[in-house]
Amino acid sequence: MLDGTGYGDLRKGRDDSRGVVVNRRFLVGCVFCLLFLVGDPTYGTVSSPDSERAVLTPNRRFETLSSPPWPQGVRSPLREASKQLEGRTIQLAFVRVDAELLREMSEAPEEEPMTRVMRETMGGPVDPTDFIFFLDDVLTEFSTSTVQSPLWLTPSRARRSGIFLHTDDVFRGKPRHYGGGASLALHKPQAQKMQTPALDGDPLGPEWTMRFRNPSIERQRLSALSESPGSGDFAQRVGSLIEQLRAQGARVDLTSTLRSPERGYLMWGAFLISRAQDEESLSVALEKVKRVNEEWGLRVPILWDHPDGSAATQRAAREMAETYQVVFATEAGARSSDHYTGQAVDLVAVNLPRELELIAPDGAIRRFDLSGPAESRDLSLSPDLIAWVEKHFAMEKLVGDYPHWVNVK
């Protein structure tokens, strides 16, 4: 699971040590969100029921950009897209994608592998072909509909839609492909701190993210971890890893450490209801979250049935799960999470350098070569790096849960 950060914008110039223009514009934080599961998967269309909503239904057909084969590989559609995107932007995870950025990538030196160029420039594990399919859909919509710039594609949305690598790609051999059937939300996500805390008896919705709150900043999260009985030096080990990664240029977010059972229950409940596919599965999900609220002795005073009906219930659940930034949740985890006892953290580290050196608490030192064009440059998607950190930092990675690490010392 993930549980909350915000957005910002930061430019970096030429990185001569990499030999490629990487005019990266990083957002200071990232809000991780769920997909809206609506629409017809056959056509690349955006619906915008109000000024704060935009939903794209992806396809794998080129309607605006030229179809392959491309004379210069993906450089060709990037150059073509840069001319058509002029004046409009897409907030893709940590970077603002605009005409200038697309043009910079298309002009990268010929000897540079484009997968590496795109991952370094956009600071995330981009799948080049799926990104081009996404660009085509967006450009088609900009030219044929009233959808407004900027569009927002958070890291979670990018992973789920195949634009970023997913844990399924790396650990299960089941690649996510853009245009696989689910619609893609492109509206600006809601920040937790902007919500008014829900009152007892209020219906589900993003306001509940401000109840049973986590520590709000990294220093407080590490402090809460260190004060948890039985956690030992877990906070120090996590802090050391974070410090070393940041010192070498990585983008690191410690999104969650200690968490209350009530908050874990609310996150799982919102996630479960948001995934319902029809009235029957929605009814089953609602019955379950109400029942376990009593069985687990939580008695969280939330109204899971929205007074405006089932459609409003599922919409509110999606918004609530988005605001929590839930990317993975299970009933077992909600009932007995290592977060409740200070034995787990949610840690995201992306844009890792081409060469990374780590010094472990046990004295081990290792230099990792991450320069290969297929490297994800993402801690949660790097098996060799994960294995070494597990062994020498005494932590275990739950590979199916993108950011989740557990203390094993």
Per residue in 57-72, pLDDT (tens digit) is 999 999 999 999 999 9
The whole-number pLDDT of residue 53 equals 67
Among 143, 162, 135, 153, which residue's Cα sits nearest to residue 91? Answer: 153
Question: What tokens does 226 get?
Answer: 């260190």
Cα 377–Cα 378–Cα 383 angle in degrees, nearest 5: 95
pTM (2 d.p.): 0.84
Question: What tokens does 154 get?
Answer: 């958070």
Among 208, 161, 204, 165, which residue's Cα sits nearest to residue 185? Answer: 161
Q: In which residue are the tokens 């890291």 written?
A: 155
Count the helices and strands in the chain (H runs, E runs). Answer: 13, 15
How crowded is residue 356: how many other Cβ atoms within 10 Å of its Cβ? 21
The whole-number pLDDT of residue 327 equals 78
Question: What tokens does 147 get?
Answer: 């959808």
Rounded Cα–Cα distance for residues 235 and 179 (Å): 41
**For residue range 231-250, what is the model confidence (pLDDT) as tens digits?**
999 999 999 999 999 999 99
Question: What tokens does 270 get?
Answer: 């919102």
260: helix, strand or coil: coil
**For residue range 149-205, what is the model confidence (pLDDT) as tens digits?**
899 999 989 998 999 999 999 999 999 999 986 788 898 888 888 899 999 999 999
- 104 CA to centre of own chain: 25
Helix (H) / strand (E) element for 406: namely strand 404-407
Q: How far apart are the first and last CA of the chain?
A: 22
Cis status of the peptide bond prior to 69, with omega within 30 of 0: yes
Rounded Cα–Cα distance for residues 381 and 168 (Å): 10
Rounded Cα–Cα distance for residues 306 and 304 (Å): 6
Q: Please list the ranges in the chain whose pLDDT falls under 50.
A: 5-51
Question: What tokens does 67 get?
Answer: 């179809």
Question: Sign of dihedral through CA atoms 228, 231, 235, 236?
Answer: positive
The whole-number pLDDT of residue 17 equals 35
The set of residues, in sequence order, having a beta carbon less than 8 Å from that of 404 and lying 6+ positions away, is 1, 328, 344, 345, 346, 397, 398
The whole-number pLDDT of residue 4 equals 61
Question: E strands of 290-403, at which residues?
Answer: 344-350, 355-359, 365-369, 395-397
Rounded Cα–Cα distance for residues 377 and 352 (Å): 5
Helices within 199-337 (DSSP H only):
218-226, 234-247, 261-274, 279-295, 310-324, 331-335
Q: Is the separation of the CB atoms in 272 and 49 below 8 Å?
A: no
Sheet with 10-11: strands ordered across: 10-11, 25-26, 95-97, 90-92, 151-153
Per-domain boundaries in the chain: 10-185, 192-212+260-334, 228-259+337-407
Rounded Cα–Cα distance for residues 332 and 328 (Å): 12
The secondary structure of residue 189, as a DSSP letter, is P
Among 363, 94, 342, which residue's Cα sits nearest to residue 233? Answer: 342
Rounded Cα–Cα distance for residues 108 and 23 (Å): 11
How crowded is residue 374: how many other Cβ atoms within 10 Å of its Cβ? 8
Among 31, 23, 94, 17, which residue's Cα sits nearest to residue 250? Answer: 94
Question: What tokens does 24 get?
Answer: 């990266």
